[in-house]
Amino acid sequence: MKRLLSFLTVLLLLIPTAVDASSTRVNNIGIACQIDQNGTATFVEKWDMDVSEGTEGYKIFNGMNDQPLTLIGVTDDRGVTYKNIGTWDSDVSRESKINKCGLIKDGGHYELCFGLGDYGTRSYTMVYQIEHFVNQYKDQQGINYAFISDMSLDVADVTIHVTGITPYSKENAKIWAFGYSGSVNFDNGGVTLKTDSLGSNKMQLLMGLESNSYTSPNKRHASEKFEDVVKDAKEGSSYSSGMSKAAMIMIFIFIIFVILMLIFIIVAVIVLSDSGVVFDNGRTIKGKEVTPFREIPCNKDIFLFYYLAKKLDIIGGDESRENLVSGFILKWVRDGIITIREKESGAIVKKKNYDMYLDVDAKLENKQETALYKMFILASKDGVLQTKAFQKWCSKHYKKIDDWFTKVDNVTEDSMNKNGYAKTKTIYKRFLFWNIPRDRTVWTDKAYDQCLYVWGFNNFLEDEDNMKEKAAIEVKLWDEYLIFAAVLGIADRVEKQLKVAIPRYEETSTYNNFPIYYYTHTFAHNSMSAASSAASAGQGGSSSFSGGGGGFSGGGGGGVR
């Protein structure tokens, strides 16, 4: 076994890697798979990643009823060998997962999991075995396996190399690959699958072996002819194309025409769109160059502050939603209408959890804030709200969540128009030979000033060179500052600064009884992610994107969570 793992590890190191730091993503996956005499496959799978969120990495294996999976181990780029704890629990804390790995098993469904540890540019190498990897068909042996599919993160480069007890070649095997744009070839006595743009698609190998060399194959498909499996897999794929050369040329010309039309339409939309902020005075704002501003902007209106920060691209995407919810949780804790208490669960292994106790009779002045608070109450049981309960509620009522955020934007825009922050103005945009008039919303000098204050406040909070100034601010005001820091998504960084500037801050703050910023961010992130996932379900899959048919094992997704 040691010699086998050494060989696979060396082979894996030969697979090139490419790292481009950004948000959480997988830059490169390299998989070395060696099949022994029994038909058991040993995998060494390396993920090169940029990690900025989540507590664990995971890889899912589906359809493994007759193919038991064994986790051998996980190592990382720092040379740490992770402790294999056996059965994995995704609900434990981030700290409890560090330098550990394990499996979640449910029938033929496996999830190989490991703690992410520190964020940044990281590499993780998983080593595992799958028994009966080779299938026995009615007429021959073969492999039908999805090495990767439906990742929750986009994947760039992938290289997979499969070897067996004897060298594979076109003389003793036939190969097809499905689900991605790339190549599959006989290479160095094995089979290599490669792509430089996998995205969230799959990489499935279908391989026919001329001889029945493997002694312990999977017999689930023993009644099927391999040629029928191939026929099913080719259905809808490029392998099944029987078009004439003339027809292919016509299709190519049509595709080029469609692409040119799409480019024309996209350019027109970009030129004529109303995206971005336009100030009536024609000025622009270079955010990071704005002088730091220590007063809370927008007259402490959280919704206006959130809206301006979003439009100025200080925050964006799904994270902006998480940030707003996190900010309101802090506000409600400060105002005393919710209390968060720690509890322990588990008969043997004790876990720390937190429950949210809501004042069901609380009266709030703002209608949109009231609507959000009512969602918390509806998800609670007798005014006690558990994190998972709110996640389930958001998943079930994702339309209400989405409508609420849309309403927030619409109400804020109306308020800006009524209060002199915005007005409608006719502007002209040139497209090709025409000057096209457009009525669009422009922001006034009043809005410009508030945008400067929002950027300045962000810069003040992020500045680590003004600790003396921050130390002079009273604790009660910092409790309020942190609400708006949460909306900006930087409450955790500001808290770290406060521990330096005001060592006794935690003792005197309203938020002094537990790690509230970690809790509120995690609570908001998990809840909004549940709503987002539910909203995107039912968008259709890509099972027929490049063929592949059914009957394969493996696949099922993976990423971080």
- Whole-angstrom Cα distance, residue 194 to residue 162? 12
From the list 152, 162, 213, 200, the residue with the least C-alpha distance to 184 is 162
What mean pLDDT value characterizes the chain?
82
From the list 279, 309, 272, 268, the residue with the least C-alpha distance to 441 is 279
Residue 494 has pLDDT above 60, yes or no: yes
Which own/partner contact pairs does 97-104 have at CB distance under 8 Å and 24+ positions apart?
A: 97/55, 97/56, 101/71, 101/73, 101/74, 101/126, 102/71, 103/69, 103/71
Lowest-pLDDT range, 34-48, 126-140, 232-246, 418-432?
232-246
What pLDDT, on a 0 to 100 scale, did the predictor assign at position 273? Answer: 56
Residue 540 has pLDDT above 60, yes or no: no
Taking CA atoms, 160 is separated from 71, 238, 437, 447, 513, in Å, by 19, 21, 55, 54, 50
Residue 300 has pLDDT above 50, yes or no: yes
According to the CATH classification, is domain 2-239 in 2.60.40? yes
Tokens of 380: 């609670």
Structure confidence by residue, pLDDT tens digits, 412-444: 999 998 998 888 776 666 666 667 676 677 888
- Domain boundaries for CATH 2.60.40 within the chain: 2-239
Residue 469 has pLDDT above 80, yes or no: no
Residue 128 has pLDDT above 90, yes or no: yes
pTM over 0.75: no
What pLDDT, on a 0 to 100 scale, did the predictor assign at position 431? Answer: 61
Instruction: Report which of residues 427 and 73 the model is more confident about.
Output: 73
- Whole-angstrom Cα distance, residue 340 to residue 376? 13
Lowest-pLDDT range, 217-221, 307-311, 482-486, 495-499?
495-499
Query: Identity (one letter) of the amino acid at 179?
Result: G
Structure confidence by residue, pLDDT tens digits, 151-192: 888 888 999 999 999 999 988 999 988 888 888 899 889 999
